[in-house]
Amino acid sequence: MELDPNRIQFPPFSLKRLMETCFGPGQGEKLCILIDLPDPQEVKDFAFLDNPRLSIQNYGYEVFYKGFQNGGLEEMNYTHGDLYAYKEVGGSNLDLEDEAYDIKGNKLSLDKDIYPNYDVILTVSTYSATAPLTAKCKEFGFRGATLHGLNQIIVDTGLSVDYRMVSENAEKLRLGLTKADWFEIDFEVEGQKTTLRLLTNGQEAQKSHGLCPRGQPDVANLPAGEVYFVPEGAEGKFPFKYDEETLGLLTVTDGKIVSSRLIYGEYALIEEHNEKLKYDPMVGALGELGFGTQVLPFSGRDIQDEKILGTIHIATGRDDHLGGKITPDLFKEREHASHDDVLYAPHKTPEVRIPEVRMHKDGATTVIMGNYQPGQYMVDLLNRALQPALA
């Protein structure tokens, strides 16, 4: 397996190839595209296209809406291809408001007019909608994909790969990591060395692999390519980058961030975080540990960059869409019930070194990653042939 994205020749993006590999050949399913807008009424007559700040939504229109309307529906054997907008929620994976609008300016209901009436729903948005749409697909029976943060690099690479191969590689790594007892991540920043241990207690690892087969209501996160766990506990300390100038050190006890201490930068951000943790302790709950599985170029957007082999992410907040028990009702404020990935990658956290990531499984401790590179254990997993029954 080639581990250098600069040596990979990605094929030109094909909407048809993406749809057929992720969802299977169309069988006349009704399809629609959702976008989020600060003012969802600006979807009327495509007024949002005149706003240069809405580049993500523009990709939703240019790549998906026009791709389907300009002959794609018939070629791929889908119908409708309608475009709707809902109000931007202001945070990752927060529940969506029910109000939506169509391109004629008609006010609609997501629950009454959209979710029950479409078989495949693609969501191109500023903020991830994976958690709320995962809940809704189970209620209404649709399949879909969330594609937040789209840019041209993602279209040209992360959406242009063969997702059958992505799924196979994710499964190879999943089988090698599944049923681990715990993972330890060593951090080093500004001369300080800390370790965070996340307990997985033998749980079955899960994968985000991009395939969403017919007959199974589900929402894929695209680009896909990760193996993840829902931690059952965590202890230790890890650095957190608030912005380009501010870094804090977070203390984790019993699976939750309980406090932050300034390493450098603006102390007001640390104070604000500590006040939020004190007021609503669930804000600090660790809800995911994820490992990227794909060889891709960095895009500057977490949606793709967290799927890159050698990166690691820890998420805070709700994890019900991952099979966890942290649900929105456990938070004191609606806007606190987000799922926020904390990504560690060389381009995003260059000031944070991660010398080692270790896994304890079957009575042995194995180094699986280090310095933003997969360890030999992961490389060997990827080079193994996958048994046909497990593919």
Q: Are residues 203 and 172 in the same domain?
A: yes
Residues 197 and 248 in one domain: yes
* Terminal Cα-to-Cα distance of the chain (whole angstroms): 17
User: Are the beta carbons of 178 and 205 closer than 8 angstroms?
Assistant: yes
Range 33-37 average pLDDT: 98
Q: What is the pTM of this model?
A: 0.93
What is the rounded (10 degree) CA torsion for 133, 280, 193, 244? 70
State the pLDDT confidence band at 131, using cuts at 50, 70 and 90.
very high
pLDDT of amino acid 289 = 97
Same domain, 181 and 211: yes
pLDDT at 388: 53
| Residues contacting 182, CB < 8 A, separation 6+ | 197, 198, 199, 200, 201, 359, 360
d(CA 171, CA 168): 5
Instruction: Determine whether 197 is exposed, middle or buried from the number of CB atoms within 10 Å of its CB (0-12, 13-18, 19+).
Output: middle
pLDDT recorded at residue 390: 45
Pair (152, 179) in one structural domain: no
Domain hosting residue 170, numbered range: 163-390
User: Tokens 């490992």 — which residue?
Assistant: 291
Average the pLDDT over 21-47 and give the result: 97
pLDDT of amino acid 319: 87
Residue of 20 and 320 predicted with greater confidence:
20
Element (H, E) at 267: helix 267-279
Per the CB < 8 A criterion, the answer to whether 79 and 31 are in contact is yes
pLDDT at 117 over 50: yes
What are the two backbone dihedrals, phi and then psi, of residue 139, each rounded to the nearest 5 degrees?
Answer: -75, -40
Average pLDDT over residues 247-263: 98
How many Cβ atoms are within 10 Å of 280's Cβ, its own excluded? 16
How does residue 387 score in pLDDT terms, banded at 50, 70 and 90? low
Same domain, 131 and 16: yes
pLDDT band at 322 (very low <50, low <70, confident <90, very high): confident
The answer, yes or no, to whether residue 389 has pLDDT greater than 50, is no
pLDDT tens column, 54-109: 999 999 999 999 999 999 999 999 999 999 999 999 999 999 999 999 999 999 99
- pLDDT tens column, 328-372: 899 999 889 898 989 999 999 999 999 999 999 999 999 999 999
- Residue 225 DSSP label: -
Which residue has 């191109």 as its token pair?
Answer: 124
Among 114, 143, 158, the domain boundary falls at 158
What is the total count of domains within the chain? 2
Do 147 and 194 belong to one domain? no
Do 136 and 211 lie in a common domain?
Answer: no
Pick from 158, 186, 221: which residue ends a domain?
A: 158
List of residues 6+ apart from 225 with CB closer than 8 A: 166, 169, 170, 208, 209, 210, 292, 293, 294, 296, 307, 308
- Higher-confidence position of 337 and 40: 40
Alpha-carbon gap, residue 102 to 89, rounded angstroms = 18
Residue where one domain finishes, among candidates 136, 158, 180: 158
Please, are residues 203 and 179 in contact by the beta-carbon 8 Å criterion? yes
β-pair type (373-374, 107-109): unpaired
User: What tokens were used for 37?
Assistant: 């807008």
The reply to whether 75 and 175 lie within a common domain is no
Amino acid residing at 373:
Q
CA 19 – CA 353 distance, rounded (Å): 38
177, burial (CB in 10 Å: exposed 0-12, middle 13-18, buried 19+): buried
Q: Are residues 190 and 293 in the same domain?
A: yes
- Shared domain check, 183 and 144: no
What's the average model confidence in pLDDT over 308-328? 92
* pLDDT tens, position by position, 1-28: 566 777 888 999 999 999 999 999 999 9
Query: Could you tell me which residues are beta bridge partners of residue 33?
Result: 83, 122
In degrees, rounded to 5, the angle at the alpha carbon of residue 245 between the alpha carbons of residues 244 and 246 is 105
How far is 347 from 344, CA to CA, in rounded Å?
A: 9
Are residues 266 and 358 both part of a single domain?
yes
Together in a domain, 198 and 52: no
User: Per DSSP, what are the bridge partners of residue 341?
Assistant: 315
Tell me the DSSP string of 315-382: EEE--GGGT-S--GGGSSSGGG--EEEEEE-TTT-TT-B---EEEEETTEEEEEEETTEE-HHHHHHH
Burial 126-141 (b: 16+ CB within 10 A, else e): bbbbbbbbbbbbeebe
Q: What is the pLDDT of residue 221?
A: 95
pLDDT of residue 310: 96
